Each structure stands twice: as structure tokens, then as C-alpha cells.
Amino acid sequence: MSGDPSLEDLIGIQLCVGLSGLEPTSEEIQSLKRTRARSLVVFDRNFESPQQFLELQKKLKEVLNRELVLMVDHEGGRVIRFKNGVTRFPSAREQAALGFAAITQQGMVEAQELKTLGVRVNLAPCVDVVVDGSDPIIGDRSYGSDPEEVSGLGAARIHGLQGHGIAACAKHFPGLGCVPKDPHRVLPTIETSWEEMEEIHLAPFQKAIEEKVAMVMSSHVCYPGLGEPGNLPATFSRHLIHGLLRERFHFNGLILTDDLEMGALRQLGSMGELAIRATEAGHDLLLICSDLDAACQAAEKLRIAYQNGRLSVEDLRVTATRFEQTLGLH
């Protein structure tokens, strides 16, 4: 990372936050200044038209004196945040029937359109292998139930996006396709064994890593069948995040959490403690997508944890370098 950034600036790189509407409020601007957050996760509440959206970015850059990295869930189907100005592709399930070339072409078109809108990261594809009887939260967001097909189609999408300048994100590690309940609401448990995970759910992530995917997003789900405590989501598992994803799979890109405000984590501690535990597990980036007060709390608790040695400042510097290199920042 260029220069000698302060601890607060380094922590800001970890934080991916959201705004409440089409314009930032004065309170939100102050919170963005306070957290020094470097990334903004965009939702439909922030978008009215391409012109409005570009004006929003211009205003934020002027008041913050820095450019924010814009990220968006732009999967297709029921998960599209932009009302206009983009091609509205069908769901992954529908697109899968068109084959690899069509999926690569989709990624190319998305990359061109998202760049025009100032977006740098597409939080897609969803490479979960869906299983009959699972909660519909994944459903048609998945390319299907065949691990080999999901792996190939996910890789094609990543190739289309990243080959044309947009960072892709494979989600939700180590696999959400057989989740019995929606983690937006409660903390689910997946009882799948290591053998089944290896055979079905991990393969698409391994393929995405071979394709040099820029990011991998973890899941707020407990996996006791993988030797984890029954109440420990992957979000806080150093064994799964650092051990499996970083060390065994040799993933060198950015690891990010799903939204830390989701219902799955609501009973597991304050936002500050959630942020610290997710960092301890090995995440680079922490998504706090709605509540900027919560993001401020996370920033302050992280600062204390780095100062008292609970978290490693050297690891944070590695995250900062990885952030700049992965996203091509200078």
C-alpha cells in the first residue's frame, strides 16, 4: 500500500457499508468520514437512474475526498439492484440451459454495463449447488444441482466478468445449496459430512479459484458435520476460512463476509464483536450493509483490538495490499 496509512485508514479498507437512500444524509457523510470505509455496497434504494447514480458517486467523492469501491449484487433474475440502464438477465437456473458461451457473454455484458455505472465489483456468481428440499433463499440463484455443471458455469461467468474489468465474487463458501432455513432470518445448520461437501459443494469454489476469482464470500451457517461446534457459523470459523479456503485451497484473493447485520448473527454479539470475530477467522472485508452507526461501532472496536494485540496489524496490512492488488487500485 502506498504511503504510510494510519491504523484508522487500514481499518476503513475492511469496511463495506451501505447508504439508506438516493442521497447521503449529513449523518451518513459524517459516519463515512469517521469509519473511513473504502467500499460501498449498493442496493435498489440507492438507484433511480444512471444519471442520479453517477451524481451520487461524484458527490461522495467530493465530500469524502476519496473514491469508494462500489459493489453490487448483480446476479440476474430476482437479484438485480438497478431499475434501468442494465440488461436484466434471467436467473442463473434459466441461464444455465443456454450453456457456457451464453454465460460468458452475460458476464461480458454485465462488466461493460457495470463499469459505465461506476461499479467495480459484482457480488456474483452464486456457485452454491442446490439440493432438493432446501430453503428457497438459493433456489434459482443456483446454476443447478450438478456440481460439475455449476463449477463450469460459475467459471464461465467469472471469466466473462473479470476478462472485461469487473471483479467477481464466488458465494457462499463453503456451500449454501442445502441450507434448511434462510440465514437472513435465523442461524441455520447444515449437517453435511466432509465427504459430501468434498463431492458436491466445495468443487465450484475450487474451480472458481482456479479461474482466479477476485473474491469469495462466506456463509452465516453452522457446519457441525465438518467438525465445527454446533453453534459456530462459518463466519467465525478460522478452520474453514483461513485453514480451508486460504491455506488448503490456496485462495489469494479477498475473503468477505455476508452482511453482518443478517438475522443469523443477531444473537451472537454486538457489531463490534462480530467484526472482530470475523476478522480473527480470516476475512479481509466485512459487509455492514445498512446501519452506519453499527459500522462506526465496528471500526472503533476493531481499532481497540488491533491496539491491544487481539488482532494483528501486520495481517491488516496484508489485507490492505491484497485489496489494492485484487481491485487494481493505486
Cβ atoms of residues 222 and 213 within 8 Å: no
**Residue percentage of the chain with pLDDT more than 90:** 93
| Predicted confidence (pLDDT) at residue 1 exceeds the cutoff of 50 | no
Cβ atoms of residues 82 and 47 within 8 Å: yes
Q: Is 288 exposed, middle or buried (0-12, 13-18, 19+ CB in 10 A)?
A: buried
Q: pLDDT tens for residues 151-174?
A: 999 999 999 999 999 999 999 999
> How many other CB atoms are there within 10 angstroms of residue 133's CB atom?
7
For residue 192, the one-letter residue type is T
| Predicted confidence (pLDDT) at residue 243 exceeds the cutoff of 70 | yes
Q: What pLDDT score was predicted for residue 2?
A: 52
Q: pLDDT tens for residues 212-237?
A: 999 999 999 999 999 999 899 999 99
The DSSP letter of residue 85 is S
What average pLDDT score do residues 284-304 get?
97
CA distance 240 to 225: 12
Q: pLDDT tens for residues 257-281?
A: 999 999 999 899 999 999 999 999 9
Name residue 72's beta-bridge partners. 42, 122
How is the chain split into domains, by residue range?
Answer: 71-327
Cβ atoms of residues 90 and 76 within 8 Å: yes
Using alpha carbons only, what angle is made at residue 167 by residues 274 and 23, rounded to the nearest 5 degrees? 65
Sheet of 286-288, strands arranged across: 254-256, 215-218, 167-173, 121-122, 69-72, 39-42, 15-17, 286-288
Residue 30's contacts (CB-CB under 8 Å, 6 or more residues apart) are none
CA distance 302 to 189: 28
Domain 71-327: assigned CATH number = 3.20.20.300
Q: What pLDDT score was predicted for residue 4?
A: 86
Low-confidence winner among 109-113, 145-149, 184-188 (lowest mean pLDDT): 184-188
What average pLDDT score do residues 22-30 get?
96
Cβ atoms of residues 239 and 225 within 8 Å: no
Q: pLDDT tens for residues 83-98?
A: 899 999 999 999 999 9
Active-site positions? 184, 258
| Predicted confidence (pLDDT) at residue 103 exceeds the cutoff of 90 | yes
pLDDT band of residue 328 (cuts 50, 70, 90) is confident
| Predicted confidence (pLDDT) at residue 57 exceeds the cutoff of 80 | yes
> How many other CB atoms are there within 10 angstroms of residue 80's CB atom?
16
Give one DSSP letter per residue of 125-154, joined into a string: -B-----TTS-TTTGGGSS-S-HHHHHHHH
